[in-house]
Structures are given as C-alpha cells and as structure tokens.
Structure 1
C-alpha cells in the first residue's frame, strides 16, 4: 500500500456535469475558451486516474467559463446547482474529494449569499474565482465585500484563468488556455497586488494556478513599477515580491523543464502545491505530467515533490491529513 506521505493532494482538479455543459452551450460556449469540445467527466474515471497515480484526494472546482454567462439570476441558480453537485460528490467519497465553491461574480450580493451557504451548509473547502468576472478583474473595488468576507472566514481562494478582455484580438484564433490563461493569471494577481487587496486581507489564502502563469518572470518588473513609478496603495506595505512570496502556487500543466524552475526564483518550496488540471487535461497527458514530476528532484534535501506538496496541502486543508 502506498503511504499517505507519497500520495498527492490535488488542489487543481475539475469536474463537469451534463447539466452544466448543456447550460453553458446554450449560453454560447460551444467551444469553451476556443477548445474543440467539452471534456467528458465521471467520478469513476476520476477515481481511476487518482488510484493509478497515487493521488489521495482531489479538490474539485468548475473551470472556465465559470457560472456567469451574462444573466445574474441564471448565474445564481447555476452556482447553487454545481456547488450542491460537488458537495454530493464529497458526501459519496469524503476521503477522496473536496471542493472549491463557485460564486456568481460580478453579482456581489449573490456571491456573498453563496459563500455563506457553501461554507455553512455544504462545508466547502474554499472558493474558486475566475481571473476576471465578465471583464472585471479581481482588484475591482466592487468586489471588496467578497474579499472582506473571505478574509473574515480565513478562507482559501483558488484562482482559475478564463478568457481575457479582448481575447477576440489577442488570442489570434488560437485556444485561450495556451497563452491567454497564463497572462490573465498574472494580470489579475497584479490587480490584487496593486489595489492593496492582498495586504488588506492577510487572513485570505490565495492559490495561484499554473506555476503563477507569467508572474515569475514579471515579478521584478511589477515591483519596480510599484515602488518607483506608480506607488504602493499602502506605503508601509511590503514590496510586490514579498507579497507574491506569501501566495501559494500550484504546479498544474507542463511545469518542467522551464516554468517551475522560474517559479522557484519567486516562491519558496513551502508555498507549492500539486495540481493535475484533470479533466480538462486529458488522462494520458495528466499521466505524463505526473511521471515527469515524479522523476524530478525538488529543491529540498530528502523530499520528493509528493512529500513536499502534500505536506503543504495538509497545512491548508487539515481535514485531508489522512
């Protein structure tokens, strides 16, 4: 039997339901974010992949395009539906699944209601926030009540990229997950930083996906602009690099040979978490990514990427401590 220390905890894992795909397709997301098709998902197939790759538990979330397709009432109902679906999966497999609740931003009132319901009634492990909500990035002042409530609850917010504003021109006809996701991740974290959200809400834990997107190579540039040209929104706050070091980062995607080494120039090893990105990353590709991670040594003597990221995840999610 594989020991719990050598099993992954997957903080970047997705599910889709037939109802969700039907509603998203009806709203115009036939080719979600420029991809050819929607993935097919089932709990049985997900558990099979987890068993094959020694993944102890997976925290499920809805990927892009999220739950808000333009109508506040429909978004509120869809958020409730997918969160109850996720809670049902956790109830059926309490030792294998957790979930990040979806919220219907930019509708702040409904998002606050769903946060309360998801944490108090469904025992969510955190929330998932798209990098922008109908064109509003996460540092937008209208979202302040949401971050205040998440901070009050000492919650975990898992960020997930979505198509950026202006993707019709910037993506050049290619799938947005290839390049646009990476820059939209950096864009929204920079917005959180420059608007002072990260410093105002120190009890909020933020997980940044895909090795931080473009942040590792932009961090010094962002820091220079904040300290030399634009000015910090809070003059006594730590600089940009120090604030970015406080965040957590998952290693979903093709992290090696280049992206994860770049991240390690920004983030300390105790801030790194494992992510598979299944089911949007197909199972054979997920298997390959995991094999590469297992074959690579982390920068901590005597550790493996499994033991390192699992220990980090258990600090954030103690109920998954095994």
Structure 2
C-alpha cells in the first residue's frame, strides 16, 4: 500500500504463440468463426488498429512511455485474448500456453519494478489447466493467468475445471476473466456489436456460471478478477437474486448471488464516471481496481482521470487506483523467474 497507481488490464502480443499455431489444422476454421462473429467491416478496422499498435503490444519502451504519460506506475500485462487459441489440439495447446507464459515473463523481466505478468492456461483442454497454471506461477514467476468466458464445449461451471479452481486458490494466483468472442455469433456482426454488446454479455454469463455453480462456495479464497467491470452482471444482479429465491434450479450456490460480488474484483473499465459509480455502489469500493485495456482502441488512454471524474472520496479513489490491487497481490517483483 504505497500509493503507486496500478493498471490491472493491459495486453501484449507474444510472437512465439502465433508461430506455434501457424499452419495448424483448425486455424482457418477458427479465423472463419472470428469473421462470422465480428463481420468483415469490423475485422478490417481491427486489423488496421492492431497494426498501428504493434510497438505498444510487443515492446517495452513505448509501453513505459505511455504509462508515464497516463500516470501509471505499475501495469499488469496479459496476452492479447486473440492468443487464447482454445481450438488447438492438446499438444499445440500446451505449446501455446508455455510460449505465452515465457513470453510474458520475458517482457516483465525487462522492467520488473513496473510490470507484473499473467499467463495462459488451455481452457479447451481442462485436464491440462493445473499444469499450465503451475508453469505460469511456479516456473515463470507470473502472478496468475488470464482466461476467457468459455471454450468450445467448456463452461466455467464445468466440473472438469474444479482442480484448476482449487489449485488457483491454493497458490493465491490471480484468475483474470477476459472474454474473447461471443456465442451470439452473427447476431452481433454489425456495428461492432460483437464487442460493445458481446463482451459485457460474456462477462455476465461467465460470472453467473461461476457464482451459480458454487465455485466461490467451494473455493472462497479464489482471487477472481473480472475485466470490463464484470459486464452487465453487477448492476443488474437483482434479477439473479430473484431467480435464486424462486427457482430451485438457480439455487446451487449457498447464498444470494449478489453476496458474491464482494468476493470478486472488478476493473474500472466501464466507460464513464456514472457507470463507475454504479459499479462501486454494487460491489463495494474495495472490489474495484483500475483497468485501461491498454493499448486497444476500446480501452481508456486516461483511466486515472476517469476514476477521479467519478468524484469519490480520496480514500475510495486511492483504493481503486492503488491499494486494492496491492492487496490482491498485484505488486511488482524485482526479478522474474523464467525457465
């Protein structure tokens, strides 16, 4: 708790990951699905946007300069969600996660006093998730891992993920929930709805799977961090509470769904001080941390200013900008471990 401003939501591209999947069976089908979900217009815009940000996504110098300009002291870096590649077969998935973990660790090692890293696990191969988590935390010195809201055939409520949740809780590892793709597919292929509607929908669905299935009952010390302010769930949680009261199939968690919000940490990326104030009111000031989605265009180039624009008390502002992230364990180390 030293007042250093921490941005928990920032991304990097690890070139070695793309080298693993290049030419692999399934890659073209994956790209075709991505095209269906986003639409040709959005894919073209996104491709140009990413190309313009390569120096930010793959280097350290520009990243540090941008952090300084935004008043960010510490940045938590996770792979671009486009690098999940959950479609990959078991051998390829293991190489993807191993490459991602080492790539992020190497990036952090260039400036360990200011960068913290998160790796990947093969969510599409849940039997290997614990091994990948141990690799990320134990071998690569990362603070935890990033996961999407689902993988083909795998929801976050699936029993196959129980060993992963248990190990993450045991290690005190961060599990950063960041969706990529939306199961609504072509319904969102215009107007960039795949992101503006799809991402908050996926956050809400994934968190609901975790809450209603009792994951947080069984693993109360799990450190779950949700991107994009948790999407639509926190500020519409009353409907979930009502279902828990009146529907027996919705009563698989021990308590009201709203009671679990304080056990989850949410980033501040909700686009507007009014929305941020509503999030804090729903989940509590100690459950919100600063997030920018650096360096993508749907992020916030001045996230500190948006937190201050909400006009919280200085104590609450400091909690969001600094204290809550350090309390969660997202503090930089002086040296990383890469094997």
TM over 0.5: yes
Between stretches 110-119 and 191-200, larger displacement belongs to: 110-119
**CA drift at 1:57:** 1.1
2:337 aligns with none
**CA drift at 1:10:** 1.0
Between stretches 22-31 and 12-21, larger displacement belongs to: 22-31
TM-score (norm 2): 0.83
1:276 aligns with 292
User: Would you say the 8 A contact 1:151–1:201 is kept in 2?
Assistant: yes
User: Would you say the 8 A contact 1:90–1:97 is kept in 2?
Assistant: yes
User: Would you say the 8 A contact 2:285–2:316 is kept in 1?
Assistant: no
Distance of 2:65 and 2:240 partners within structure 1 = 42
Distance of 2:200 and 2:154 partners within structure 1 = 17
User: Would you say the 8 A contact 1:211–1:259 is kept in 2?
Assistant: no
1:238 aligns with 255
Unaligned runs of 5+ residues in structure 2 are: 335-339
Give the structure with the larger helix fraction: 2
Distance of 2:113 and 2:235 partners within structure 1 = 37
Query: Residues 211-259 of structure 1, C-alpha deviation per residue, up to 9 Å, x if partnerless?
Result: 121012320101111122134224xx221111122211101252x1442
2:283 aligns with 267
Q: Does 1:73 align with 2:70?
A: no
TM-score (norm 1): 0.87
1:87 aligns with 105
**Stretches (4+) displaced over 4 A:** 21-26, 30-33, 170-173
Residues 148 and 289 of structure 1: CA distance in aligned 2, closer, same or farther (over 3 Å): closer
Paired residues for 1:240-319 under 5 Å: 240-254=257-271, 256-281=272-297, 286-298=300-312, 300=313, 302-303=314-315, 305-306=317-318, 308-317=320-329, 319=331
Q: Does 1:16 align with 2:13?
A: yes
User: Would you say the 8 A contact 1:171–1:180 is kept in 2?
Assistant: no
Distance of 1:277 and 1:123 partners within structure 2 = 22
* Aligned-pair Cα RMSD in Å: 2.6
Residues 10 and 175 of structure 1: CA distance in aligned 2, closer, same or farther (over 3 Å): same
**CA drift at 1:179:** 1.0
Distance of 2:307 and 2:106 partners within structure 1 = 31
Q: Does 1:107 align with 2:125?
A: yes
Query: Residues 149-179 of structure 1, C-alpha deviation per residue, up to 9 Å, x if partnerless?
Result: 1122222211001212241234447352211
